Amino acid sequence: MGLFKKDYSKKSDEELMSLLTKGGQSAFDELYKRYSKPLLNFFFRMLNNDREKAEDMLHDLFLKIIEKPESFDGNKKFNTWFYTLASNMIKNEYRSRQIRSEHEKQTLANGNELFELNSESFDRKLFDSRLQSELDKFDVETKTIFNLRFTEEMSIRQIAEIMNCPEGTIKSRLFYLTKQLSKKLSVYKPELN
Amino acid sequence: MNMETTSNTDLDKLEEMLHNKMFDELSPADKQWVANRLSEEEYTSMSALYTVLKVQKQSIDIEPHEYIKNKLDKAFAAKASHKGVFRLNIPLYQTAAAAIIFFFVGSGVNVFQPEQTKVIHTTSQVIKYVDRPVKLIQYVKIPVQIKEKQKEKGNKVIQATDNIVNSGIPEFNSEYLRQQEIAMTNINHVLNEQNGSSMGGDTVLQKMLVTVY
């Protein structure tokens, strides 16, 4: 039987989506294997490390392709289309609730003081918390661009497609964002001072 | 000094430098290129940020729980079973052929069935005249085909009162005939009265009215 089993790992995302439209469970399994982890981490970062919410959104995202696989436009890259769905879900989530928690505001307020206590050794956790707080000062689009670029390592072109805006705009926003962040976060790298 | 206004298309080149070289490691030409966009301090800060972000990406890496996949598998199975109920593997041409056959068979049934007259009013109206035979008027709708056939046979079809046919009550309806006779007798009796009588005392007229109504 193994001889006749299809090797889905060699198929492209787009081919898998085509098979999924015809009801292929194995195609779905392969897509889940490829995208569940990166997308969970994307949601996790975008939702201020709220794992429970990130997992809910991951579930809802994959449910969309189970229920309406035909909504995928075969002329587009699956990767771009899927991240566009994820970004839209994030936007809706931001609209529906104020995502900043009191805890994070507290961290932001006490950031410099905390850093001074740990300045001699780089505290990864603290840096992440501070980074999140700084990112929260930007709008959801800018934050999405940042995560797509630095955590998903997407090209400018892909990000432009996902965000539905020109590449120049993405570059401009990324440049401005990294410049601002580097100013704010330089305190975490003692050798920068 | 401001990259947003000078050029945003050079980000790729700048990012490559930020990822790979400290400011001191840049060539004089690259230093000049950077200096047109950023200060040395800004370059150093951004370079550090890029390095930290790279490390940070690797440090945060969570795996999805198994239950998410299980829930999705159940949803997938439910969708598949739902689709299975409604999905019939009948080719389109067979469906079309069946529809055509059904259409002709249906039409054939109508052709061989005689057209029936449709009674518009279910309530018949009985008009009783004291001096004429009692008639039963029934309103019926006569289809055009039947109307034409009737004409061909020489039968009279009333056009002016379209769709209305008057038909007399059969003579063997003894009750109506008896009432008619009583009425006529009463009328003759009144006509033959010599002295006349008041309406209140006119028992004959009263009887007649009772009989008629």
Q: Is A120 on the interface with B (CB under 8 A)?
A: no
CB contact under 8 A, B52 and A45: no
Residue A33 forms contact with B (CB below 8 Å): no
For β-strands B125-127 and B135-141, DSSP reports them as antiparallel
Rounded to whole angstroms, the Cα distance separating A11 from A27 reads: 9
A17 in contact with chain B, both atoms CB, cutoff 8 A: no
pLDDT at B168: 52
At B117, is the pLDDT very low, low, confident or very high (cuts 50, 70, 90)? low
Q: What is the pLDDT of residues B146-200, one digit of tens each?
A: 666 666 666 555 554 444 445 555 555 667 677 778 878 877 776 666 665 556 5
What residues of A are in contact with residue B64 (Cβ under 8 Å)? 36-37, 40, 55, 58
ipTM attached to this prediction = 0.74
Q: At B36, phi and psi to the nearest 5? A: -75, -10
pLDDT score at B209: 59
Nearest residue of B to residue A50, measured between CA atoms: B62
Looking at the complex, report in whole angstroms how far the Cα of residue A187 sits from the nearest Cα belonging to chain B: 9
Residues B68/A36, Cβ–Cβ less than 8 Å? yes
- Which residues from chain A sit within 8 angstroms of residue B49, using beta carbons? 178, 181-182, 185-186
Bigger pLDDT: B16 or A129?
A: B16
Which residue of chain A comes nearest to B77, CA vs CA?
A25
Over residues A22-57, the pLDDT tens digits come to 888 899 999 999 999 999 999 998 888 889 999 999
Considering only the beta carbons, identify the residue of B4, B57, B64 that sits closest to A58.
Answer: B64
Chain-chain contact of A171 with B8 (C-beta, under 8 angstroms):
yes
CA A100 – CA B77 distance, rounded (Å): 38
Full-prediction pTM beyond 0.90?
no
For a pLDDT cut of 70, what percent of chain B falls above it? 45
The DSSP result for B86-113, as a single string, is: H-----HHHHHHHHHHHHHHHHHHHHHS
Query: Cβ–Cβ of B52/A181 closer than 8 Å?
Result: no
Q: Determine the residue of chain A that is closest to B58 in CA distance.
A: A151
For the cut 70, the answer to whether the pLDDT of residue B128 exceeds it is no
A78 vs A8, A61, A87, A112, B56, CA distance in Å?
16, 13, 14, 42, 27
Cβ neighbours of A131 (radius 10 Å):
21
Whether residue B88 has pLDDT greater than 60: no
Q: How confident is the model at residue A8 (pLDDT cuts 50, 70, 90)?
A: confident
* Residue in A67, A127, A192 nearest the CB of B44: A192
- A6 at B interface, C-beta within 8 A: no
Task: Look at A45-49, B4-8, B104-108 and tell me which has the smallest mean pLDDT.
Answer: B4-8
- Is the pLDDT confidence value at A84 over 50? yes
| Average pLDDT score over chain A | 80
